[in-house]
Amino acid sequence: MSDSAAKLSMALAADFSAIGFHDAELELMPGTGVSHNHYRITGTDWILRAAHLSQSGMDAAGQLTIQAAAFDRAAPSGATPKLKAVFPVSDALPRGGLIVEQIGGRLPQSAAYLPDMARALAAIHSLPMPTPSKRAPIPHYMKPFVPLAANVKATLEVYLGSAGLTAKSQAIIKKRLQWLIESARHDIGAPITCLTVSDAHPGNFRILDNGRAVFVDLEKPAYSCPTIDLAHAVIGISSAWDPAAGLVLSAADRQAFIDAWLEAVPASVATAAESRILMARRAVWLRTISFFMKWRKESAVQGPWSAERLGKKAASHFRLHVDASLSEAEVMAAAGDWE
């Protein structure tokens, strides 16, 4: 056990005892997430999930409350870890912590697992919607592409000019942003609203021995259009994000994923969502490319996004992937899918 894990174990001893984990010891788990550390609680089937930043700038208590609600509400799907306890914000846990089920299995390192991933998302998307008064604290977007476009616009205003892109790439991205803003403005609203996970890249799934996939990272839940999740799972800049589960997908791979999802969700959901698949793919590309600009700048300085915190191997992979994605050739290739 590392010194930091030992100190954290001691600081949280009373919290662990309150949930029946006496003399609990923590072991820092290897990982490459930007926003969280995970600690195995030795001798149990549970882990401590401790955030150290919010990518959207949310306050600690709000972030903790939303994520706890997401784990709790997604559990009936059978496609996410169970939630056991919530540890409040404290000196030991500046952003609080969640005790969640430890999921074994393996990373989806082949496109053959895409249908399993699609069925896991479908199980989450098929959950009944709470009544409007019971949806908080998870945000609900009746017109989800409007806040998505606003988020992209705000990020690009800060980072586009300093991200090292060519003038041609910047012009393409600005043009695509205007398309998204106009499309969102005239959008009649989501054809179907479901609990969505917002960060469905392959590295956030685990494949169990029975072939079932589990989605493990409920960091940014929303009641929104499920095609946003579908897009995040298969567009190239996000499917290749994780250094241990980065997938380079063909058009046939992407279609197999979509087909599996369409077959697994209720027919009403499939029918209503189909027309938004391409729109979401374009929107999520913009959202992700703007995040990459932010990551490139913020990871170069000390702090929670720094390469030192992520570790040299993960940081090197992320840097190479971000640099490639922001190259003029890749921006042009991605933009070609819009024509």
pLDDT in tens, 251-295: 999 999 999 999 999 999 999 898 889 999 999 999 999 999 998
| Listed residues 101, 130, 150: the one ending a domain | 101
Both tokens of residue 189?
Answer: 């609203």
- Closest CA relative to residue 235, chosen from 245, 215, 217, 250: 250
Q: Residue 305's pLDDT is what?
A: 59
Percent pLDDT > 90 in the chain is 75
Q: Residue 231's pLDDT is what?
A: 95
| pLDDT band at residue 303 using 50, 70 and 90 as cut-offs | low
Is there a single domain that holds both residue 132 and residue 62?
A: no
Q: Residue 309's pLDDT is what?
A: 63
- Closest CA relative to residue 194, chosen from 217, 219, 227: 227
Residue indicated by tokens 């570790």: 311
User: Rounded distance, CA 338 to CA 333, Å?
Assistant: 10
Flag whether 331 is in a domain. Answer: yes
Is there a single domain that holds both residue 161 and residue 82?
A: no
Is there a single domain that holds both residue 48 and residue 180?
A: no
Residue indicated by tokens 């170069």: 300
| pLDDT band at residue 306 using 50, 70 and 90 as cut-offs | low
Torsion of CA 172, 178, 184, 186, to 10 degrees: -130
Q: Residue 1's pLDDT is what?
A: 55
Domain extent, residue 77, equals: 3-101
Is there a single domain that holds both residue 97 and residue 117?
A: no
Q: Residue 3's pLDDT is what?
A: 78
Quick one: 151 exposed, middle or buried, by C-beta within 10 A (0-12, 13-18, 19+)? middle
- Closest CA relative to residue 87, chosen from 71, 64, 63, 67: 64
Q: What is the mean pLDDT of the chain?
A: 91
Quick one: 57 exposed, middle or buried, by C-beta within 10 A (0-12, 13-18, 19+)? exposed
Quick one: 43 exposed, middle or buried, by C-beta within 10 A (0-12, 13-18, 19+)? exposed
| pLDDT band at residue 106 using 50, 70 and 90 as cut-offs | very high
Q: Summarize the confidence of residues 328-339 as an average pLDDT.
A: 80
Q: Summarize the confidence of residues 23-51 as an average pLDDT.
A: 89
| pLDDT band at residue 35 using 50, 70 and 90 as cut-offs | confident
- In tens, the pLDDT along 173-185 reads 999 999 999 999 8
Name the E strands within 78-160.
83-87, 97-101
DSSP string, 183-195: HHHT----SS-EE
Q: State the DSSP H helix or E strand holding residue 194, giving kind and residue range, or none if neither.
A: strand 194-196
Q: Residue 189's pLDDT is what?
A: 65
Q: Summarize the confidence of residues 89-97 as an average pLDDT.
A: 96
| Listed residues 80, 101, 122: the one ending a domain | 101
Contact residues for 72 (Cβ-Cβ < 8 A; gap 6+): 83
Domain of residue 149, CATH code: 3.90.1200.10
Provide the 10 A C-beta neighbour count for residue 129: 13
Whole-angstrom distance between the N-terminal and C-terminal Cα of the chain?
A: 54
Domain of residue 43, CATH code: 3.30.200.20
| Listed residues 101, 132, 161: the one ending a domain | 101
Q: What is the pTM of this model?
A: 0.93
CB 238 within 8 A of CB 201: yes
| pLDDT band at residue 137 using 50, 70 and 90 as cut-offs | very high
Provide the 10 A C-beta neighbour count for residue 275: 10
User: Rounded distance, CA 24 to CA 42, Å?
Assistant: 7
CB 186 within 8 A of CB 234: no
User: Rounded distance, CA 193 to CA 200, Å?
Assistant: 17
Residue 274 is classified by DSSP as G
Q: Provide the domain count of the chain.
A: 2
Provide the 10 A C-beta neighbour count for residue 329: 10
